[in-house]
Chain A
Amino acid sequence: MLDDFLLRAALAGVGVALAAAPLGCFVIWRRMAYFGDATAHAALLGVALALSLDLPVFSGVLVVALAMAVIVAGLNGRNVSTDALLGVLAHGALAIGLVAVSLLPNQRVDLSAYLFGEILAVTRGDLAVIWGGAAISIGLLVWRWQALLSATLNPDLATASGLNPKREQLILTLALAVTVAFALKVVGALLIAAMLIIPAATARPFSRSPETMAITAAVIGMISTLGGLAASFAFDTPTGPSMVCVAAVLFATSTGMAAIFRR
């Protein structure tokens, strides 16, 4: 039944949306939008590394994304002014990745596939990686949900309750790196951060608890994915960007409605 490329694409997109949206909630609660960017952009460097070493792309991306995420998380804890530094890291990683890919010998790499994703070319093997990765990422979040939320609210409060905020941060970092690695194929390095942040931000006005926000974000992520896929098919537009466009329209609608209801 997985012969149809559209069905595979839909399943891949839904898998990414399910994992990315709840994680995206933490990204915006902790104000780490750039953190997501830096990690996602580093993925491209991982692609270059994997191709030059003849390794599977997924593993290269996972290693580099994890390294970047750990570096950024470490900077975050040090109380240095990180905004500019994160900007440098996010865009520096992207640029170095682009250069590294272009320097690969005897490789004809389709750059746009890694930048914007190629969801329509998802294979059964890719599907297994995506759903496996999504299961790991969601599993980590569900397992540590209460602790992650506490550490997000206030690290000292978490410590006083017997938790280790650094450990929780590391778990979030791990989930982020895994998500970036398996989402690369679907939405590409440039738009992973969008799939993290936009559904979560869209869900905010309709949520009264962190749990409902995460679930609503996942539903909005799925709608964006499937809507974008349909739009891409109907109008012959690039699929990844179409999905982000649908998400952005939903965000605008949700924010607008919230503003009207509040009046």
Chain B
Amino acid sequence: MSLISAQNLTIVLNGQTVLKNVNFSINRGEIVTIVGPNGSGKSSLLRALIGALTPASGTVTRADNLRIGYVPQKLQIDATLPLTVRGFLNLPHRQPRTVVENALKKAGVGDLAKRQMVDLSGGQFQRVLLARALLNAPDILILDEATQGLDQPGAAAFYRQIDDVRREMGCAVLMVSHDLHVVMAASDRVVCLNGHVCCEGTPEIVADAPEYRALFGTGTQGAFALYRHEHTHSHDHDPDHDHDHTHCDGAH
């Protein structure tokens, strides 16, 4: 039985259809990565799955008592807000001290509890966000481009941390990412999104692509490599488009 599933999900934001008839599900312990160009509705899908967006039509079903650990795309803490890392982890529900310290340790930042949030580096900040997501021993960890703003080694180290966490806690992981080489190494399944589900499959299918290997490296190029491999039609980067893409379904 799946942890979260979406049936015929359509999402309209400010009059624009950002997602159309999307079907999605993730099972216990599974690692699923969503890739797609900017504006393809990746974040909207995640936000609908956690319940932060109400779909225009379709349904989202979450397993009973599902514990979600959510790491947002970006979290801008205003410099006027004084907040220690420990204080941050105690929001909105106060946690026992040991729980907070364990979560920080698991995320690889056990020594930062007393630091101010606004003083953290990008990599430290993302790890603190990860620690926060781990507090309630989640069934599923949801990460929305959690490595945005990190350099390549920083992003790789962050994903290794996630991998460690998953091995230890056995939670499912759902992430949106541009770092496709990391995706290849870790994911059970890759979902290609561009306003709709373009294609879906095991990373091996994608990894075999010579174009992808040639472009192995920076995130954006990797994303386009995947697109060229999986689709012969051209994307106009408009999530509203409704062209036929049946040939795309042959990917899995």
Judge if A150 is at the interface, Cβ distance under 8 Å.
Answer: yes
Which A residues from 141 to 158 make CB contacts under 8 A with B?
A: 146-147, 149-150, 152-158
Which A residues from 206 to 230 make CB contacts under 8 A with B?
A: 207-210, 212-213
> What's the interface size class on A, roughly?
20 to 34
Taking CB atoms, residues of chain B closer than 8 Å to A201 are: 80
A237-261 contact mask (Cβ, 8 Å, vs B): 1 or 0: 0000000000000000000000000
Q: Which of B69, B81, B116 has the most CB of A within 10 A?
A: B81
Q: Are A154 and B72 in touch, CB under 8 angstroms?
A: yes
Q: Are B92 and A147 in touch, CB under 8 angstroms?
A: yes
Q: Are A153 and B80 in touch, CB under 8 angstroms?
A: no
A180-214 contact mask (Cβ, 8 Å, vs B): 1 or 0: 00000000000000000000110010011110110
Q: How far is the CA of A213 from the CA of B90 in the complex (A)?
A: 17
**Interface majority SS (helix, strand, loop, mixed), chain A:** helix
Q: Are B93 and A146 in touch, CB under 8 angstroms?
A: yes
Which of A46-54, A130-138, A159-167 faces chain B?
A159-167
**Interface majority SS (helix, strand, loop, mixed), chain B:** loop
Given known A153-B91, A161-B92, A161-B93, contact A209–B82 (CB-CB < 8 A): yes
Q: How far is the CA of A150 from the CA of B72 in the complex (A)?
A: 13
Q: How far is the CA of A48 from the CA of B10 in the complex (A)?
A: 47
B83-118 contact mask (Cβ, 8 Å, vs A): 1 or 0: 110011011111000000000000000000000100
By a beta-carbon cutoff of 8 Å, the part of chain B in contact with chain A is: 14, 47, 50-52, 68-70, 72, 75, 77-78, 80-84, 87-88, 90-94, 116, 132, 142
Inter-chain pairs besides A160-B142, A209-B87, 18 sampled, C-beta below 8 Å? A29-B78, A30-B78, A78-B14, A146-B91, A146-B92, A147-B92, A149-B92, A150-B91, A152-B81, A153-B75, A153-B77, A154-B72, A156-B52, A157-B72, A163-B92, A208-B84, A209-B83, A210-B82
